[in-house]
Amino acid sequence: MLKLENISLAVNGQNGANKEIIRGIDLEFHPNRLYAITGPNGGGKTSIAKIIMGIYKQSGGNIYLDGENINDLSVSERARKGIAYAFQQPPRFKGLTVSDLMQIARPGLDGMNLRTSLRDVGLCPEDYLDRDIGPGLSGGEIKRIEIAQLLARDAKISIFDEPEAGVDLWTIQKLIAIIMSKFRSKQGETAVIITHNENVLHIVDEIIMVEEGQIKDRGTPDEIWPLIRHEVECKMKEQCRGEMVYEI
Amino acid sequence: MKFEQLDMDLLQAVADIKGIPSGAVNIRRNGEAVFRHSSPNIIIATNPENKGLIVEVKAGTKGETVHVPVILTDSGFHDRVYNTFKIAEDAEVTIIAGCGIHNDSHSDSSHNGIHEIIVGPRAHVKYLEKHYGEGRGEGKRILNPTTVVRVENGGSIEMEMLQIKGVDDTIRTTTAYVQEKGNLKVVERLLTHGRQKAESDIRVEIEGQGAAAQILSRSVAQDDSYQLFKAALVGKNECTGHVECDAILMDKARIKSIPQLEAEDANAVLTHEAAIGKIAGEQLIKLMSLGLSEQEAIDTILEGFLR
Ligand SMILES: Nc1ncnc2c1ncn2[C@@H]1O[C@H](COP(=O)(O)OP(=O)(O)OP(=O)(O)O)[C@@H](O)[C@H]1O
Ligand SMILES: [Mg+2]
């Protein structure tokens, strides 16, 4: 189980003053459960994931993995303990191929499983295995490869940061279904999906709504969905000076 | 001729050979040809001044390889050699050159190789040159290759030059002339560390109509090392040329990159791109998030970059 206790994060704002982008968050993620984190842009979702991975160091609070305080563990150490994060915007590399990166993600991955992992995310292995993770790959392709790495890792906690972003309408359902079925069939693993995708929000066990660096609401899709709809309506009205332009 | 383990190791490092390869071979050790073998299509002979080789590849030769590695194991030895490669029309050949120095002493060892490569009409050449240095001595391991390339009508050459660690001082001078519809591609990969210095000076004159040239350099400079990269493309006709220099800078190292384009014809299309920077932090973090340590992540990124 992963536990965040009173986590906050301050960064240097534009005027040099400290800006708190995460404010006193308490969260628990249990094995065999699927979570979605959603909320408006800039709310703090990616920041929470990066704090968990150790990429950002929290300014206050504690993180526990299976009861052990992991505050002082580096990114590499947390990865080896079973935390995995698929980046919202994965970096590109010159000279590293898809196959290289998959082998790093899952050392000893054999050829057959490597191919299956790519097929799972909708990529034809023959076309991609030897391709550079460089400027020659499209945004959607990079995202799929990022997801494939996490699926291959079999980590205790897998965090996907907007896996749907940039993935086309034709295959997105399939991709979501694959992620879901992988986790539903595995014992003892936790998946956290940061998402704006309605379909994902309907099929997870729990939704966590993050706004302005805080947890606004959390609960089952049935509990949270009406709140989200209401929020969206309010936002629309706000933006359009009270006039409803779109029927939601 | 008997080779010692040390010789074999150096040969393996520079020419990727275990034992004597089949086909045309000339192995030069401490200034002397210690093994030579010609093939029916590739004739290796000593030049008239007795200062090097003349390698002649017959017209129409297909898919053959010639190995001409040089090794230096006597410390303090200063070697100088003049080699000429003549590749006749329509031949296809791979030339594996390369120089390995083992120096355990206080005195410097050096090799100055002067190569002339003539690529005949419609001939296709692949030229690989690897530099390697080892040994515990204070004495420097110095390599100064000079290469002159002439690509005749419709010929092509792809040159790959590799120097990964071990060589203390190097000044590489490459000059090329490309005729009508000829094609030249130079790929340089370089890693310097410690107090090493590496200088590369490439000048390509694209003389013929429809000719093309490409110079690509990937380099990594670590510790206190210094690299100077000069690449000049001269377009004298309707032609295309591109220079690309991409470097990773680490520690206290310094890199100076000077691409130069000279167009003497309104139909010459010449471009250049240069980028020098440190390893991107997000690349490191990404690999660490897959479980690599920071050092493993750095090594992986550099290895890929120089591949
Ligand atoms: N390293 C940083 N330095 C300064 N500000 C940051 C940094 N990282 C995030 N922020 C700010 O913190 C806020 C939360 O960012 P975060 O990326 O966590 O949002 P998000 O919820 O993931 O948004 P999105 O839905 O757009 O991905 C934003 O206002 C962002 O500008
Ligand atoms: Mg985000």
Instruction: List, for residues B162-213, the tens digit of each pLDDT value.
Output: 998 789 999 999 999 999 999 999 999 999 999 999 999 999 999 999 999 9
Q: Does A55 sit within 8 Å of B285, measured CB to CB?
A: yes
On the question of pLDDT at A218 being above 60, the answer is yes
- B234 by Cβ neighbours in 10 Å (0-12 / 13-18 / 19+) ranks as buried
Which helix (H) or strand (E) segment holds residue A216: the answer is: strand A214-219
Alpha carbon distance B233, B185 (integer Å):
12
- Count the neighbouring beta carbons within 10 Å of the beta carbon of residue A160: 26
Q: Does A93 sit within 8 Å of B283, measured CB to CB?
A: yes
Among B161, B141, B138, which residue's Cα sits nearest to residue B149?
Answer: B161
Tens-place pLDDT, residues A125-180:
999 999 999 889 999 999 999 999 999 999 999 999 999 988 888 888 888 888 88
Once rounded to an integer, what is the mean pLDDT over residues B264-286?
Answer: 95
The end-to-end CA distance of chain A, in Å, is 37
Model confidence at A225, in pLDDT bands (50, 70, 90)? confident
The type of residue at A104 is: I
Ligand 1 pocket check for A21: Cβ under 6 Å: yes
Probe residue for ligand 1, chosen from A12, A21, A57 as the CB with the greatest number of ligand atoms within 8 Å: A21
Which residue from B minimizes the CA distance to A95?
A: B304
Long-range contacts of A118-123 (CB under 8 A, 24+ apart): A118/A145, A118/A148, A120/A148, A120/A151, A120/A178, A120/A182, A121/A145, A121/A147, A121/A148, A121/A151, A121/A175, A121/A178, A122/A171, A122/A174, A122/A175, A123/A148
Which range, of A75-89, A128-142, A234-248, B69-83, averages the lowest pLDDT?
A234-248
The type of residue at A13 is: G
Ligand 1 pocket check for A122: Cβ under 6 Å: no
A84 touches chain B (CB under 8 A): yes
Which residue from B minimizes the CA distance to A84?
A: B289
Once rounded to an integer, what is the mean pLDDT over residues A21-34?
Answer: 96
Once rounded to an integer, what is the mean pLDDT over residues B76-103?
Answer: 94
Q: Does B303 sit within 8 Å of A75, measured CB to CB?
A: no
Q: Which residues contact B298 (CB under 8 A, 6 or more apart)?
A: B279, B284
Alpha carbon distance A77, A80 (integer Å):
5
Once rounded to an integer, what is the mean pLDDT over residues A97-122?
Answer: 94
Which of the two residues, A246 and A86, has the higher pLDDT score?
Answer: A86
Q: Which residues contact A72 (CB under 8 A, 6 or more apart)?
A: none
Which residue from B minimizes the CA distance to A105?
A: B290
Q: What is the mean pLDDT of chain B?
A: 94
- Count the neighbouring beta carbons within 10 Å of the beta carbon of residue B32: 8
Tokens of B93: 């050949």
On the question of pLDDT at A235 being above 80, the answer is no
Task: Find the CB nearest A91 among B280, B291, B294.
Answer: B280
Question: If you take atom 9 of ligand 1, which residue's CA is the nearest one?
Answer: A47
Q: What is the mean pLDDT of chain A?
A: 91
Ligand 1 pocket check for A78: Cβ under 6 Å: no
Q: Which residues of A touch B289 (CB under 8 A)?
A: 53, 55, 75-76, 79, 84-85, 87
Among A162, A193, A75, A191, which residue's Cα sits nearest to residue B290?
Answer: A75
Q: What is the pLDDT of residue A248?
A: 47
Q: Which atom of ligand 1 is nearest to the CA of A21?
A: 12
Minimal CA separation from A38 to chain B, in Å: 23
Which range, of A40-49, B159-168, B234-243, B250-259, averages the lowest pLDDT?
B159-168
Task: Find the CB nearest B304 among A87, A90, A93.
Answer: A93
Ligand 1 pocket check for A41: Cβ under 6 Å: yes
Once rounded to an integer, what is the mean pLDDT over residues B221-226?
Answer: 96
Q: How many CA atoms lie within 13 A of B225 on its CB side?
A: 26
B307 touches chain A (CB under 8 A): yes
Percent of chain B with pLDDT over 90: 82
- Please check whether residue A21 is in contact with residue A3, taking contact to mean a CB–CB distance below 8 angstroms: no
Alpha carbon distance B155, B42 (integer Å):
18
Q: What is the pLDDT of residue A230?
A: 82
Alpha carbon distance B37, B66 (integer Å):
10
A73 touches chain B (CB under 8 A): no
For residue B11, which phi and psi values (nearest 5 degrees)? -60, -40
Q: What is the pLDDT of residue B166?
A: 86
Among A148, A144, A140, which residue's Cα sits nearest to residue A106?
Answer: A148
On the question of pLDDT at B76 being above 70, the answer is yes
Alpha carbon distance A27, B247 (integer Å):
44
Tokens of B253: 């190292």
Model confidence at B22, in pLDDT bands (50, 70, 90)? confident
On the question of pLDDT at B296 being above 70, the answer is yes
Q: Which residues of A71-108 are buried (b: 16+ CB within 10 A; e: fewer)?
A: eebebbebbebbbbbbbbebbbbbbbbbbbbbebbbee
Percent of chain B with pLDDT over 70: 100
Alpha carbon distance B81, B55 (integer Å):
13
Structural domains of chain A, ranges and CATH numbers in brackets = 2-93+132-239 (3.40.50.300)
Tokens of B191: 């890693």
For residue B58, which phi and psi values (nearest 5 degrees)? -70, 155
Among B50, B55, B49, B99, which residue's Cα sits nearest to residue B78?
Answer: B99
Q: Which atom of ligand 1 is nearest to the CA of A88?
A: 27
Tens-place pLDDT, residues B128-147:
999 999 988 888 999 999 99
Q: What is the pLDDT of residue B1?
A: 60
Coil, strand, or helix at residue B56?
strand
Tokens 């729990």, located at residue:
A206
Tokens of A144: 């799929």
- Mutation target for A interface from B276, B289, B298: give the one with most A CBs within 10 A: B289
What are the extents of the domains in chain B? 5-279
Q: What is the pLDDT of residue A240?
A: 59
Tens-place pLDDT, residues A61-79:
999 999 999 999 999 999 9
A104 touches chain B (CB under 8 A): yes
The type of residue at B137 is: G
Model confidence at A243, in pLDDT bands (50, 70, 90)? low
- Please check whether residue B101 is in contact with residue B130, taking contact to mean a CB–CB distance below 8 angstroms: no
